[in-house]
Amino acid sequence: MAKGTIMLPLDAALLRKGERVCCAVSGGADSTAMLLAMVEANARKESLGIELSAAHVHHGLRGAEADADEAFVRELCQRLGVPLTLVHVDTPARMADEGEGLEEAARNLRYEALRGLPVDAIATAHHLDDQAETVLMKLLRGAWTEGLAGIAPEVQADGPRTIRPLLRVRKAEILEFLEARGQAWREDSTNRDLSLTRNRVRHDLLPVLRQFNPQIDALLAGMADVARDEEAYWQDQLPPLLRQMVLPGKPVRGGGRASSTAVGSASCALEIERLKALPAAMRRRVLRAAVRGLGHRLTAEETAKILALAGFGGYPGVLGKIGSRLELREGLRVERSARELQISRQG
Ligand SMILES: Nc1ncnc2c1ncn2[C@@H]1O[C@H](COP(=O)(O)OP(=O)(O)OP(=O)(O)O)[C@@H](O)[C@H]1O
């Protein structure tokens, strides 16, 4: 395929003229393609009009392989005429200091370094296949809509915002784009490590699902968009409702309510009659947000059990009777009184 015949459709809505945009370049296929596509789009007559730069983070892991990644990105940027910031971080030290796992420590250090750069936006090269994997992994872990929202196309922050202009582009398109230009990239050896869940989802699970529906990646990515909008809607709707519905603390003899002063303990209550007046979708959200306010994230199963305790639907082994009680994970206890669901957490 001749150079230039295949383009990568960058999400133009995320790119604003005059802004300083820094591409986070690992040297892998995705970020190499993103940088190249941005350089090309900026050079076209209808230019993006952005001030382009790049950054590469050396995580202090993978020895010579990481040194070669850095050298690759340095040469790429030199050839493209893009100013590059190289950052060295010490992931093993972070793991020891903060007790974080390897991936988490590397990611946190990377984002901290990138967000500290004097630019308006950091562009990462997450693409549609990454999104599909993320949504599937969240689903497997039992996520609700907030988790199913997956990777956000844009994240506002105090410093530069994070943008993902390739989030609607398939991995195959990225590879075609690079091959059409004869552009090499670096392969990360950990991408083949099947002890990592993401790699098993990518190499084992998704290929099977594609046999049932070849469009599964796009469907999962579409689900992320829907879930993100649903979440935003509820984030808007819930606060005033929670102020009306959630009674803080516990009722005390003689009237009124008292919040516990014991360290690590928190409680609230929901009036059952008021819950009854809500549509089921809203009721579930209110319950979930009330418990979230106590620092606990309910699973789907826990939510169903608590609703059954309050008399909304059934759950095997749960009695919807006054005086019944549930003991859940992480010190969460829910008790049904005559009028209320009383929720407390000892943690
Ligand atoms: N060493 C690096 N230096 C600069 N940017 C990087 C580096 N590693 C990853 N990135 C950027 O982050 C994007 C995602 O990388 P990758 O998929 O490896 O990370 P992840 O941990 O799966 O995702 P996340 O960035 O959401 O934590 C890359 O496309 C690239 O833009």
Q: Which of 38, 67, 124, 197 gets mutated to test ligand 1 (max ligand atoms within 8 A of its CB)? A: 124
pLDDT of residue 260: 59
- Quick one: which of 174, 237, 184, 245 has its CA closest to 30? 174
For ligand 1, atom 31: residue with the closest CA: 124
3-state SS, 280-296, equals: HHHHHHHHHHHHHCCCC
Q: How many other C-beta atoms are found inside a 10 Å radius of the C-beta of residue 215?
A: 9
**How much distance in Å is there from the Cα of 58 to the middle of ligand 1?**
11
Beta strand extents in the chain (DSSP E only)? 20-24, 51-58, 84-88, 121-123, 154-155, 161-163, 246-248, 250-251, 257-258, 265-271, 325-327, 332-336, 340-346
Phi, psi (degrees; rounded to nearest 5) at 151 = -85, 125
Residues 6 or more apart whose CB falls under 8 angstroms from that of 334 comprise 306, 309, 325, 326, 328, 341, 342, 343, 344
Name residue 22's beta-bridge partners: 53, 122
Which amino acid does the sequence have at 43?
A: A
pLDDT of residue 87: 95
pLDDT of residue 274: 94
Structure tokens at 124: 């990462």
Tens of pLDDT, residue by residue, the chain (347 residues): 455 578 899 999 999 999 999 999 999 999 999 999 999 999 988 888 999 999 999 998 888 889 999 999 999 999 999 999 999 998 988 888 888 888 899 999 999 999 999 999 999 999 999 999 999 999 998 888 777 999 999 999 889 999 999 999 999 999 999 999 999 999 987 777 887 888 999 999 999 999 999 999 999 999 999 999 999 999 899 999 999 888 877 766 666 666 655 555 688 999 999 999 999 999 999 999 999 989 898 988 999 999 999 999 889 988 888 999 999 999 999 999 999 999 998 87
Measure the N-to-C terminal CA separation of the chain; round to a whole number of Å: 61
Q: Which of 25, 69, 70, 188 gets mutated to test ligand 1 (max ligand atoms within 8 A of its CB)? A: 25
**How much distance in Å is there from the Cα of 331 to the middle of ligand 1?**
36
pLDDT of residue 1: 47
pLDDT of residue 247: 85
Binding residues for ATP, as ranges, are: 26-31
For residues 50 and 18, what is the distance between their CA atoms, to the nearest angstrom? 5
pLDDT of residue 210: 96
pLDDT of residue 265: 61
Ligand 1: lining residues by beta carbon, under 6 Å: 24-26, 30-31, 55-57, 107, 110, 124-126
pLDDT of residue 100: 87
**How much distance in Å is there from the Cα of 124 to the middle of ligand 1?**
7
pTM above 0.90, yes or no: no
Ordered by where they begin, the domains of the chain are 17-230 (3.40.50.620), 249-346 (3.30.465.60)
Q: In what order do the strands lie in the sheet with 121-123?
A: 84-88, 51-58, 20-24, 121-123, 161-163, 154-155
Mapped onto helix, strand or coil, the DSSP state of residue 118 is coil
pLDDT of residue 98: 86
